[in-house]
Structure 1
Amino acid sequence: MASKDYTARHLSVLEGLEAVRKRPGMYIGSTDSRGLMHCLWEIIDNSVDEALGGHGTRIEVQLHADGSVEVRDTARGLPTDIEPRTGLTGVEVIFTKLHAGGKFGGGAYASSGGLHGVGASVVNALSERLDVEVDRDGATWAMSFHRGEPGEFLDGKDGPSPTATFVPFVDGSRLRKVGRVSKATTGTRVRYWADPQIFTRDAAFQLEPLVRRARQTAFLVPGLELEIADDRTPPTDAEGAAPERIQTFRYDGGIGEFVDFLAPDAALTQTWRITGAGDFAETVPVLDEQTGHMISREVQRTCEVDIAMRWGTGYETVVQSYVNIIATPKGGTHQTGFDQALTKVLRDQVAQNARRLKAGTDRLEKDDIAAGLTAVVTVRLPEPQFEGQTKEILGTPAVRQVVQKVLSQGLTERFTSARREDKAQSGLVLEKVVSEMKARLSARQLKETQRRKSALESSTLPPKLADCRSSDTTQNELFIVEGDSALGTAKPARDSEYQAILPIRGKILNVQKASVADMLANAECAAILQVIGAGSGRTFDLEAARYGKIIILSDADVDGAHIRTLLLTLLHRYARPLIEGGRVYAAVPPLHRTVVKAQGRRAGEVVYTYSDAENTALQARLAKQGRTFDKPQRYKGLGEMDVDQLAETTMDRSRRTLRRVTITDTERANEVFELLMGNDVAPRKEFIVNAPGFDRERIDV
């Protein structure tokens, strides 16, 4: 246990760190798992800063079974010599003094992620125990801390433990020499146990965010290798499988490769890389070595900008921004400059090509430009200003103008280039953003004109819609049926109070391959979205949908399955909240009707089967029982069913069977739709040929 002695020595070391322990939320945001992870980021970022400066190419993070975590790097190693103003070693200064380190004034780091000089000392203050080892100058040096106070732990044979007896330093600190290494061997190892007095009982290191952060850092620092090892008892997934214990990340392609990884859709353009730099003046307080006071001086800064971006065929937007490899999820001045430059350049280019693009006088909005955009925006500058220690928002004002200038120049050169490849890709981008603008305007008009408050408003809907009478959207159902023949049977078979029927003509447009403009120009697709009445794409409003269930009613054959797939593609691409909300269904009509004869004057029993295999099994079972039956009636389509048969099997709420369409993995769903319905034929052919049970003889050609 810790010593109960309390001397002036303790006061001088702890006076600054006591504020951290009393108000930890000011420094790490919270005292739950999120704050615990933030402490870990601080230690990792110190090692990453070394790699950014060209020192060290490998970082290892190990989650120990006893709840501690260790970060190892192969960088220069923390300074072990005496810092003249405090008389303490560099190791002790870094881990016990707030706002102390090599990241002020640009002396040791041109740019860094740990920028306030409080990261290591805050982690130390909030740790029950922290051990640091440094390989430097041919030796291994070590120092330990207990809740920010330097001293020594009297560990037993079981190894280091935060509950071991702690002996604080009183007369002076000692950096212990615990081993010898070669002169070329350098690096730092930090292992700490979070303080249970500070953090909540359920706070724990989370593997998934750690892996995600390691992967992100590997993308942002090309050539840096990060290894994550988890020695804790691993949780298992639903299938009983445990995650990999060791995961390693290294990417040499930088943020260009990062964009390809983040993109949720197929590429419309190549990944564009735009780089540049800009200088600006900033007034900052600087320590005067003669007087020891802070003096305000104007210094010149350089901000380096590196942007990778590409447009895809979808409409989802992924934009991530970073400052000195630190993620800024809430943006800041660098992202503001990116948005402003992107909007201005695209508006200017559309205006210059308005006649060719048939853009009219409508004005592009940010969402039109961002549709399908995946971008990574990174800036590097010394001593950036963040809003808070958690570094979620960049506040340096001059960065906005630097980013805006670099991106404006880069994009303008790309859009005005005479190279054939650049002209082709910039043309695709302009066509996409204009198409998104037209889709937004059309969706807005559709939304404004097609919402209904009563059944009387249905007069503005397509004339072929057989609407229901009820205005209760939670009970209403829309059946999308194939062809007028099916409409002729389904219309009298429905419950007209709650069930509406919309017929379509055969196979609709494959919207996975088509543009937004082509989709809106297609009568069938436009009618479906118009009848649903909730807009389309990013403007889709689930609360405005006119029906509680959207039911696809197609024939029980291959063509019917194809039509159902085309309809699901439309809904997935332009009305996805319907599927995510569990409001899309596929009806299950029978394929055969068999009348089993009864003895005497009793009526025969009617049995419906839903596949050829099921029908064959039924006949075999009846024959074995010695029962006779008429030749099964096979329905070639819904139009061959009598009204009462369709009502009984498919539309009667009390007797029908519906299959709900759901999405459990959005990313995987996107991949499958692109595979089965997209433009790239080769992967689809490979998927079909390698499918289990594939028989070339059954292909209808």
Structure 2
Amino acid sequence: MPAATRTAAKRASSKTAQDYTAHHLQVLEGLEAVRKRPGMYIGSTDSRGLMHCLWEIIDNAVDEALGGHGDRIDVVLHRDGSVEVRDQARGIPVDIEPRTGLTGVEVVFTKLHAGGKFGGGSYTASGGLHGVGASVVNALSARLDVEVDRAGKTYAMSFRRGEPGVFSDVAGSEGAKDPEHDFTPYEKGSELAVVGKAKRGATGTRIRYWADPHIFPTESGFDYDALVARARQTSFLVPGLTLVIRDERRLPGTKGEDGPVEEVFVHDGGIAEFVDFLAPDSAVTDVWRLQGSGTFTETVPVLDASGHMSPTEVERECGVDIALRWGTGYDTRVSSFVNIIATPKGGTHLTGFDQALLKVFRKQLEVNARKLKVGSDKVEKDDVLAGMTAVVTVRLAEPQFEGQTKEVLGTSAVRTIVAKVVETELTAQLTSTKRGEKQQSAQLLEKVVAEMKSRISARVHKETQRRKNALESSTLPPKLRDCRSNDVEATELFIVEGDSAMGTAKEARNSEFQALLPIRGKILNVQKAAIGDMLKNAECASIIQVIGAGSGRSFDLDAARYGKVVIMTDADVDGAHIRTLLLTLFFNHMRPLVAAGRVYAAVPPLHRIEVVHPGSKKNELIYTYSEAEMRSTLAGLQKKGRSIKQPIQRYKGLGEMDADQLAETTMDPAHRTLRRVTLADVDAVAEVFELLMGKDVDPRREFIVSSASELDRERIDA
């Protein structure tokens, strides 16, 4: 670089440094900081952030209910885009706060880190702890109105983007309240107006706000389904609290499209009832309740008499309440909460729960090792969690969260307290001498051991080669007729019903890429059976072994030996039952295979129509797949004057076809029809399998009786 250029650059750099002074630093005060950086307080400015604001207001009302103040909360989604939250609690304080000279209402809605959750004795355990909830919502609202009932009077105040003042509303007119109305901010001093009389003894707060379109995109909206799910969850966590959700928006495609819709949630059973609601499978154990508490000390800054913050040691109490049960499946559902606030990413309470759970089961399996044939293997966390549904809740004052969104609990002492409670209570449950509890504990330990063995078997299998060639030894079932191709994506495994169909299928298949596995009769109903019984069943074990990807939690989709698994059963009632039993096995123990769209059902024909051609011309064969299709085809042929050979053949089994017919109609990719089995709604599918194949007979009987009128009687083989 030339010397002149270097000198110019140096001067420019020096000038830039000199021009950058303290005057360029921007100090954001009060709610201005929230509007400038909303993501710091609510995570994002999309629909999630919009819903987070609503949770902040609702959680304040729930905190009151937790303290025994009020037992009903109403949430209304208005047609004008606003949302209203009403409670019957104590009402926000309306007297003057001495340090600011403002009313309690204005302090709560305009001052960050202000509220009754900083050790003032108003709340022993609450969801909010930063004191920014209501003020942040106010800052991000085009308009917010608050009404408070206290001491026989109704007080009211309005805000525009966080600033208190008065709107020029026209009383009695439609759309009387609107954020676009003229607004006059208070200049000298704000006023908490008395706007009416409250009923004697009535207290509560009503907050209605309009989200600011300058902050939230126009496409953002309140998610009714998420709101309902949160309300239902809260009603479980606060027994006796009634939550009413009302949608008046009439949005197309929603439940309230044709008019206002309202749902009411109240549950007196608490988290035990919550676990029953969440559990996706039939039960191995009852819902067990693990409860206890512990204390810890922590150093917190406290404002002293002289107005200085000084570190002070305080003693905290942490209450632990856990409900859990194990089911026949392998899915795990654990929901954790701190002071009724969901912690989807866990934290120290969940860490303590997991550690104690594994410790207790390892100890119990060690004690019962000989009886359960555990061997030298050690149970792992996933073995214990398989089939478990749990709700883990802790309550403590001023919990330390990681961020305002409160997704992770950070208070370290909680881990030890939760671990101690779980270890003590769960050990007592597993070693109980009561007859029913003793039997459930034995079944649970057997299930955990079966999960452990299944995991170890899958690991060993994964370590072996996927496919053996003809020169190597094979551990696959001898009845398997494997294909030659090593290209997994191109290969197909046909699970065939019966030996007669197997004989025809061997001649009909393309042995390059189509493998055959025959099964005899109806396999075990795994919806009712324990995992150990399923693994001992010869047909189930063969299917799992041949597919080669393991089962349950340890299922590895990448290890599957075939690109497609095709269930090929007879086109009769027994065939449909066998297909349902096989799908039950796949859904419960090889679900990723179904989710990936790699499970199919073959569609064999029901009828063969032979059209007679005059002379030496070969007769034409037409296959139909339903009664309606057969009748339509016959009507069309008769209309054309074609001659039909009688009787029309009705296939009742795959074995009635010859190899060419089976290949053409059911196995040849160029002509066949396959139905892909998909998983659109896992919860709905789980309910159907439990209804059709579960242990509880009464719902199944009721379903059969109520659906009998819809049955096509001609489909029944008689």
- Which band: TM-score by shorter chain? over 0.9
What amino acid is aligned across from residue 264 of structure 1 in structure 2? P
Distance 1:656 1:249 in 2: 50
Matched, 1:169 2:186: yes
Q: Cα RMSD between the aligned structures?
A: 2.4
Query: Structure 1 residues 519 and 585, CA, compared in 2 at 3 Å: closer, same or farther?
Result: same
Q: How big is each residue's C-alpha offset from its partner over 1:332-368, in whole Å with a ceiling of 9 and x where there is no partner?
A: 1111111111111111111111111111121111111
Q: Give SS of 1:330's match.
A: coil
User: Aligned residue for 2:661?
Assistant: 645
Query: Structure 1 residues 696 and 661, CA, compared in 2 at 3 Å: closer, same or farther?
Result: closer
Range 382-391 or range 197-206, more displaced: 197-206
Matched, 1:50 2:67: no
Distance 1:623 1:581 in 2: 45
Aligned residue runs from structure 1 range 29-68, under 5 A: 29-68=43-82
Q: Name the count of aligned residue pairs.
A: 687
Offset at 1:628?
Answer: 4.3
Aligned residue runs from structure 1 range 503-514, under 5 A: 503-514=518-529
User: Aligned residue for 1:555?
Assistant: 570
* Contact 2:86–2:207 (8 Å) recurs in 1: yes
What amino acid is aligned across from residue 493 of structure 1 in structure 2? A
Matched, 1:678 2:694: yes
What amino acid is aligned across from residue 536 of structure 1 in structure 2? S
User: Aligned residue for 1:120?
Assistant: 134
Query: Structure 1 residues 566 and 456, CA, compared in 2 at 3 Å: closer, same or farther?
Result: farther
Query: Structure 1 residues 636 and 52, CA, compared in 2 at 3 Å: closer, same or farther?
Result: closer
Distance 1:443 1:518 in 2: 17
Query: Structure 1 residues 167 and 616, CA, compared in 2 at 3 Å: closer, same or farther?
Result: closer
Q: How big is each residue's C-alpha offset from its partner over 1:482-505, in whole Å with a ceiling of 9 and x where there is no partner?
A: 233322211221122221112222
Give the alignment partner of residue 596 of structure 2, picking from 569, 578, 581.
Answer: 581
Aligned residue runs from structure 1 range 274-313, under 5 A: 274-288=290-304, 290-313=305-328
Distance 1:454 1:241 in 2: 62
Range 295-304 or range 522-531, more displaced: 522-531
Offset at 1:678?
Answer: 2.0
Distance 1:656 1:301 in 2: 69
Matched, 1:260 2:286: no
Aligned residue runs from structure 1 range 335-374, under 5 A: 335-374=350-389
User: Aligned residue for 1:429?
Assistant: 444
Aligned residue runs from structure 1 range 63-74, under 5 A: 63-74=77-88
Give the alignment partner of residue 584 of structure 2, picking from 569, 574, 593.
Answer: 569
Aligned residue runs from structure 1 range 450-469, under 5 A: 451-452=466-467, 459-469=474-484
Distance 1:241 1:501 in 2: 52
Give the alignment partner of residue 141 of structure 1, picking from 155, 159, 164.
Answer: 155
Aligned residue runs from structure 1 range 595-634, under 5 A: 595-611=610-626, 625=641, 627-634=643-650
Distance 1:690 1:458 in 2: 54
User: Aligned residue for 1:526?
Assistant: 541
Offset at 1:687?
Answer: 2.3
What amino acid is aligned across from residue 643 of structure 2 in structure 1? R
Query: Structure 1 residues 244 and 585, CA, compared in 2 at 3 Å: closer, same or farther?
Result: farther
User: Aligned residue for 1:394?
Assistant: 409
Query: Structure 1 residues 226 and 545, CA, compared in 2 at 3 Å: closer, same or farther?
Result: same
Q: Give SS of 1:185's match.
A: coil
User: Aligned residue for 1:204?
Assistant: 221
Q: How big is each residue's C-alpha offset from its partner over 1:415-455, in whole Å with a ceiling of 9 and x where there is no partner?
A: 22221122122112111111111111122223333523978
Give the alignment partner of residue 220 of structure 1, picking from 230, 237, 254.
Answer: 237
User: Aligned residue for 1:9?
Assistant: none
Matched, 1:440 2:455: yes
* Contact 2:237–2:340 (8 Å) recurs in 1: yes
Query: Structure 1 residues 697 and 604, CA, compared in 2 at 3 Å: closer, same or farther?
Result: closer
Distance 2:142 2:547 in 1: 59
Range 161-170 or range 295-304, more displaced: 161-170
Query: Structure 1 residues 160 and 689, CA, compared in 2 at 3 Å: closer, same or farther?
Result: closer
What amino acid is aligned across from residue 57 of structure 1 in structure 2? D
* Contact 1:438–1:517 (8 Å) recurs in 2: no
User: Aligned residue for 2:9?
Assistant: none
Range 120-129 or range 661-670, more displaced: 661-670
Q: How big is each residue's C-alpha offset from its partner over 1:98-150, in whole Å with a ceiling of 9 and x where there is no partner?
A: 11111111511111111111111111111121111111111111111122121
Q: Give SS of 2:210's match.
A: strand
Offset at 1:305?
Answer: 1.0
Q: How big is each residue's C-alpha offset from its partner over 1:70-93, in whole Å with a ceiling of 9 and x where there is no partner?
A: 111111111011111111111111
* Contact 1:439–1:516 (8 Å) recurs in 2: no
Query: Structure 1 residues 407 and 642, CA, compared in 2 at 3 Å: closer, same or farther?
Result: same
Distance 2:486 2:472 in 1: 11
* Contact 1:453–1:471 (8 Å) recurs in 2: no
Matched, 1:492 2:492: no
User: Aligned residue for 2:205?
Assistant: 188
Which sections of structure 1, spanning at least 5 residues, go unmatched?
A: 1-12
Range 466-475 or range 565-574, more displaced: 466-475
Range 610-619 or range 309-318, more displaced: 610-619
Distance 1:243 1:323 in 2: 37
Offset at 1:38?
Answer: 0.7
User: Aligned residue for 2:101?
Assistant: 87
Query: Structure 1 residues 469 and 368, CA, compared in 2 at 3 Å: closer, same or farther?
Result: same
Distance 2:631 2:136 in 1: 73
Query: Structure 1 residues 207 and 628, CA, compared in 2 at 3 Å: closer, same or farther?
Result: closer
What amino acid is aligned across from residue 79 of structure 1 in structure 2? P
Offset at 1:514?
Answer: 1.7
Distance 2:36 2:637 in 1: 80
What amino acid is aligned across from residue 109 of structure 1 in structure 2? Y
What amino acid is aligned across from residue 614 of structure 2 in structure 1? Q
Give the alignment partner of residue 269 of structure 1, picking from 285, 302, 310.
Answer: 285
Matched, 1:22 2:29: no
Query: Structure 1 residues 392 and 114, CA, compared in 2 at 3 Å: closer, same or farther?
Result: same
Distance 2:567 2:703 in 1: 26
Query: Structure 1 residues 222 and 240, CA, compared in 2 at 3 Å: closer, same or farther?
Result: closer
* Contact 1:14–1:149 (8 Å) recurs in 2: no
Distance 1:242 1:380 in 2: 42
Percent identity over the alignment is 69
Query: Structure 1 residues 617 and 142, CA, compared in 2 at 3 Å: closer, same or farther?
Result: closer
TM-score (norm 2): 0.91
Range 118-127 or range 583-592, more displaced: 583-592
User: Aligned residue for 2:19?
Assistant: none
Distance 1:479 1:106 in 2: 70
What amino acid is aligned across from residue 347 of structure 1 in structure 2? R
Q: Give SS of 1:441's match.
A: helix
Range 671-680 or range 391-400, more displaced: 671-680
Distance 1:240 1:226 in 2: 18
Offset at 1:562?
Answer: 2.0
Query: Structure 1 residues 401 and 590, CA, compared in 2 at 3 Å: closer, same or farther?
Result: same
Q: How big is each residue's C-alpha offset from its partner over 1:639-671, in whole Å with a ceiling of 9 and x where there is no partner?
A: 232211111111111111222222222112112
User: Aligned residue for 1:418?
Assistant: 433
* Contact 1:597–1:630 (8 Å) recurs in 2: no
What amino acid is aligned across from residue 359 of structure 1 in structure 2? V
TM-score (norm 1): 0.93
Q: How big is each residue's C-alpha offset from its partner over 1:188-209, in whole Å with a ceiling of 9 and x where there is no partner?
A: 1111111222222322111111
Q: Give SS of 1:474's match.
A: helix
Q: Give SS of 1:152's match.
A: strand
Q: Give SS of 2:464's match.
A: helix
Q: How big is each residue's C-alpha offset from its partner over 1:370-393, in whole Å with a ceiling of 9 and x where there is no partner?
A: 111111111111111000000001
Query: Structure 1 residues 236 and 636, CA, compared in 2 at 3 Å: closer, same or farther?
Result: closer
Distance 1:220 1:26 in 2: 28
Offset at 1:462?
Answer: 2.5
User: Aligned residue for 1:10?
Assistant: none
* Contact 2:569–2:602 (8 Å) recurs in 1: yes
User: Aligned residue for 1:316?
Assistant: 331
Distance 1:678 1:599 in 2: 56
